[in-house]
Structure 1
Amino acid sequence: MSDPEHAWRTNYRHPGPWDQALPPLSMVDAFEESARRKGNAPLLDFLGRHYSFAETLDGANRVACGLKALGYGPGDRIGLFLPNVPHYVAAYYGILKLGATVVNFSPLYSVDELAAQVADSGTRLLFTLSATALLPTALKVLDKSGLERLIVGSVAGALPPTKSILYRLFKRAEVAEKPNDPRITAFSQLIANDGACVAPQIDPQTHLALIQYTGGTTGVPKGAMLTHQNLSANARQVAKLDPDLGSSLDRVLGVLPFFHVFANTCVLNRTILTGGEIVMLPRFDAAQALAAINRTKPTALPGVPTMFQALIDHPHAKSTDWSSLKYCISGGAPLPAELKKRFEAETGATLIEGYGLSESSGVVSANPYRGEGKSGTIGQPIVATRVRLVDKEDPSRDAPQGEPGEIVLAGPQIMAGYWDRPETDNTTFCHDANGTRWLRTGDVGQIDEDGFIKIVDRLKDMISVGGFKVFPKHVEEVLYHHPAIKEALVVGMPDPRMGEVPRAYVALNEDAEQVTGDDLRAWLNPQVGKHERVDAVVVRKKLPKTMIGKLSRKDLLLEIAAEGGRPEPLPFREGA
């Protein structure tokens, strides 16, 4: 259709109008306003220990004052090398209160990966934990980079008293000793102050709140620069999706990692803004998540498709009380229609597919929480978000009428650019005749007459078969209709005659070991176009996944290259 915005103005299926204003708001002001309203109401539940809004804000104030006393201030980049623990929340908001910029780092990073991003961002100080999975890596980076100081917290200190004792007794092997080094400060020492230092003024529109690293179009990590307004706007946009907001219990199960932009917006910032409660788990474990659902009765669960699959496949799923769970938002990867149907049937919750990028602060679009959505689409844009389709070869022009095009975005949540890489602006953004700046996503999509968006594939993932374009996602969707297939990825393989040919890699359900790749190839190829037919279906025990559990085409290509299957991996950019 020529004007998708008409559909969003006249047939918008999210609560309220599409074109709402989102005035400038700093993340600090958002948190302090919620703390004034909620006071001693619970904000965090960490394995049974509760932290109120007032207590968490006090911790953030003390972090800010402790950092100021160490000589840090506005504009400094300060890193978080942490899983989902209470330290993360206090440090995150304390850094923002200081006027400094948070830099998120995955706890799964190797020494070289962490050191490279510390150097790229100019991170001066790093928060971490006294855990064997984290502290040794942080110490090596402290010695080999420009990093000046570590702040080291204790997991045991954040647990309820009985669990804290058990942790010290039985998890000793997971605790790393903090060396006696003047460059290392205990978290408890950092916050040993009254939290009463004066905070700087923050301009939400220009003040950088977060540097969030993403793979970039060449696979080289680049830091998306997100302002306070970017983050607060996206938190408000996500909150406005919920038709029950303010009228019922708001308790979110936080199993997605906070260091990832999806959880940063949909779990942390959004719930602090709304005055809800976050049930925090340090990492995703299906048994632990099901136990938390039984114990805490959450109302919402943001996650990725593999997470929802793992929950309903677990032996404890049948004995889990799902009755409190209302809405689950799925992102990070396409949501198979069969998984949505099965999850909703077995839990009674609504599973909604959404879409976003690190560059968009987390969320761009979603299907409606209530009412008619469209399976297989990423829904309609969230409030105040504009979406267009541009020509796949020339982003200065609109896509031809009725044809797929590259999805481009504009809205208050769109990043300022990539950190220290102004030269990328010309390829990252395009401009229309009115001078509006649009973020290029690299995703190819269509928009139907109701304003629902469907992703066809990644621009860089298209496979060229004798001059014909093959979208892997289409072939994968067909594969998911086979009852034996649990996971599927399709990639292009070099071919001397056709240039490239599609090849499928699959993981099977547990009761389907007898199914072979030849069986699957014979079943698949008659159902797809001639140029889409795969040369083989390769069965693997598992397919590679990203840090948040979504299938990773990039890592599969790297594995294939390491096995000698491809001369080099295709370029690929991870989204949210």
Structure 2
Amino acid sequence: MRSASRHGDRIALDFMGRRWSYAALLGDAVKAAQGFLDIGVTPGTRIGLFLPNTPHYPIAYYGALLAGATVVNFSPLYSPDEVAFQARDSGTEIMVCLDLAKLWAPMQRLLDDGLLKHLVVGNLPEVLPTAKALGFRLLKRKERQRLPNDQRVTAWRNLLKPGTQNELPAIDPTAIALLQYTGGTTGVPKGAALTHANLTANAQQLLAIDPSGGMREARALGALPLFHIFANSAVLNSTIASGGAIYLIARFDPAEALAAVRRGRLTDLFGVPAMYQAMIDHPDVARTPFDSVRQCFSGGAAMTSVLKDRFENVTGARVLEGYGLTETSGVAAVNPFVGETHAGTVGIPLPGTEIRAVADQPNVQCVPGQVGEFRIRGPQVMAGYWNAERGAPDPLPGGWLATGDLGVEEPDGFRRLVDRSKDMINVGGFKVFPSQVEAALLKEEAVKEALVIAVPDDRVGERPKAFVVLHEDAEATSEALMNGLCQRVGKHERPVAIEILDDLPRTMIGKPDRKALTRMEDERRAAATS
């Protein structure tokens, strides 16, 4: 509301050429809030968002928060079973989705199982520019789902129709604003309970490190999925808090991202390394001026120095790596906007945030340069896990978030992430960090990407196995790569095999998926022994 009162005429959203001013965005969000209240939302009601990056998302998101509800993010990539589990666990009563046929199966499952009181359904033509909306209706009718005749199903346009002018509730800053599900250390999805105060603090922390003090008019690339915590915090909440504009892309495509840079003269890019790789590899990069871009934020996975240098050299833009978790509302540390950055580090803690490395003994802080588990304390750290199991380990011992991430505090205060503690491979008592083996593989000119997992070994318990993707037109054999790797790593770090793939499996935001490779190997072993 503050941004709308200050910058009512500024562009808040641009979606394929159709724009919403701050006044228009607030107006639609208030209508959505009124619509939610009309269908029975009360403080704490869980409203699920099963949406790609369209204007429906920010309108429904802020509308739900204005109504005092708790938002639950659902990935459109989830299977029907995953959606059903999360809906049950969170107690989601209302879901907002689109009438896209390819996304309908999980919604039909929720209706059939009686899990929802209301399903609010939007469509793409209602948020597209007039000509594109007409083209979609004419040419892509088969992609739309015919809605069931069910009193629980409400059209988006009806949600936003002026109805009863309900008084919007006062918001308790300590109330849960967002349930953001994460795999956690057990692999079982858990809902991180993020309060209004948590989300607000993280947005303000990001503005505080901007040398302009949030006074510049940012124009941000909205290609990261908004249902992911990185985008929710850094792209959506922070940009809106600053009065900037978000150029939304429904689904990341390098050509569309580069077109948005040209069309919007963007100032801020947000992505995972694979997205920056895809943009720099696309032929349109040669005709895309990056002189308006102030900085590019990279997270979700470590960016190699080769990719960072190449992207910066080609575009002239500054790449800033950062670090955060679902449990920290998105961001906990980032390299500085100005001055020296340290390649290979995740920067320094945000204002009001403490990050320390802790040794194996509880509460024993590591000396600079010593590897330990990162513990984080700050105003953006979650209130706890939703429906936490009785007797489960305390995720916030002494008020510090136990991250499960292994890292180092450098003597100059920068933090360097080493690996996930659960990903560390124990080779006969020797610690092997997959990231270090991956870094050694990436020194091979032919290797574009590398991922290392643990596989069982009868003699030493477990051993590394490597999977690599080669650069286009590059030629290399597993044997040649192994010979080169053996010159760079210790004997206990050498993988049992190096397998060359066309591509690595990826998570919903595009980073390489270690869990998927582990599942693949498990299935292979099971098939071989059956």
Once structures 1 and 2 are overlaid, which stretch shifts more, 209-218 or 526-535? Answer: 526-535
Distance 1:201 1:248, change over 3 A: closer
Amino acid at match of 2:83: L
1:403 and 2:365 aligned: no
Distance 1:40 1:249, change over 3 A: closer
Can you list the C-alpha shifts for 1:31-67, whole angstroms capped at 9, x where unaligned?
x111100112110000000001111111111111111
CA distance in 2 between counterparts of 1:400 and 1:157 reads 57
1:479 and 2:441 aligned: yes
1:563 and 2:524 aligned: yes
CA distance in 2 between counterparts of 1:172 and 1:345 reads 44
In the alignment, what sits opposite 1:6? Answer: none
Give the number of equivalent residue pairs.
529
Is the CA contact 1:61–1:195 (under 8 Å) kept in the aligned structure 2?
no
CA distance in 1 between counterparts of 2:229 and 2:59 reads 17
Structure 1 residues not aligned, in runs of 5+:
1-31, 432-436, 569-576
In the alignment, what sits opposite 1:73? Answer: 42
Can you list the C-alpha shifts for 1:392-436, whole angstroms capped at 9, x where unaligned?
3x33333367521100000000001110115366342222xxxxx
* Cα offset, 1:201, TM superposition: 1.3
Q: Secondary structure at the match of 1:511?
A: coil
* Cα offset, 1:438, TM superposition: 0.4
CA distance in 2 between counterparts of 1:110 and 1:244 reads 43
* Candidates 103, 108, 119, aligned match of 2:77: 108
Can you list the C-alpha shifts for 1:478-504, whole angstroms capped at 9, x where unaligned?
111111111111111211112111111
CA distance in 2 between counterparts of 1:536 and 1:146 reads 46
CA distance in 1 between counterparts of 2:504 and 2:167 reads 50
* Superposition map of 1:66-465 within 5 A: 66-193=35-162, 196-204=165-173, 206-392=174-360, 394-399=361-366, 402-421=369-388, 423=390, 426-431=393-398, 437-465=399-427
Distance 1:202 1:469, change over 3 A: same
Q: Secondary structure at the match of 2:205?
A: helix
Amino acid at match of 2:431: K
CA distance in 1 between counterparts of 2:395 and 2:141 reads 47
Is the CA contact 2:223–2:250 (under 8 Å) kept in the aligned structure 1?
yes
In the alignment, what sits opposite 2:506? Answer: 545
Is the CA contact 1:118–1:145 (under 8 Å) kept in the aligned structure 2?
no
CA distance in 1 between counterparts of 2:200 and 2:90 reads 22
Q: Secondary structure at the match of 2:60?
A: helix
Can you list the C-alpha shifts for 1:314-341, whole angstroms capped at 9, x where unaligned?
1211121222112110000001110000
What is the TM-score when the length of structure 1 is the normalising length? 0.89
Q: Secondary structure at the match of 1:323?
A: coil
* Candidates 460, 472, 476, aligned match of 1:498: 460
Q: Which has the higher contact order (CA 8 A, sep 6+)?
A: 1
Is the CA contact 2:368–2:410 (under 8 Å) kept in the aligned structure 1?
no
CA distance in 2 between counterparts of 1:101 and 1:424 reads 26
What is the TM-score when the length of structure 2 is the normalising length? 0.97
Distance 1:155 1:470, change over 3 A: same
Distance 1:232 1:401, change over 3 A: closer
Can you list the C-alpha shifts for 1:303-358, whole angstroms capped at 9, x where unaligned?
00000000000121112122211211000000111000000011111011101100
CA distance in 2 between counterparts of 1:381 and 1:252 reads 23
Is the CA contact 2:368–2:408 (under 8 Å) kept in the aligned structure 1?
no
Is the CA contact 1:560–1:566 (under 8 Å) kept in the aligned structure 2?
no
Q: Secondary structure at the match of 1:352?
A: strand
Amino acid at match of 1:416: A
Q: Secondary structure at the match of 2:345?
A: coil
Amino acid at match of 1:357: L
Q: Secondary structure at the match of 1:423?
A: coil
Distance 1:491 1:221, change over 3 A: same
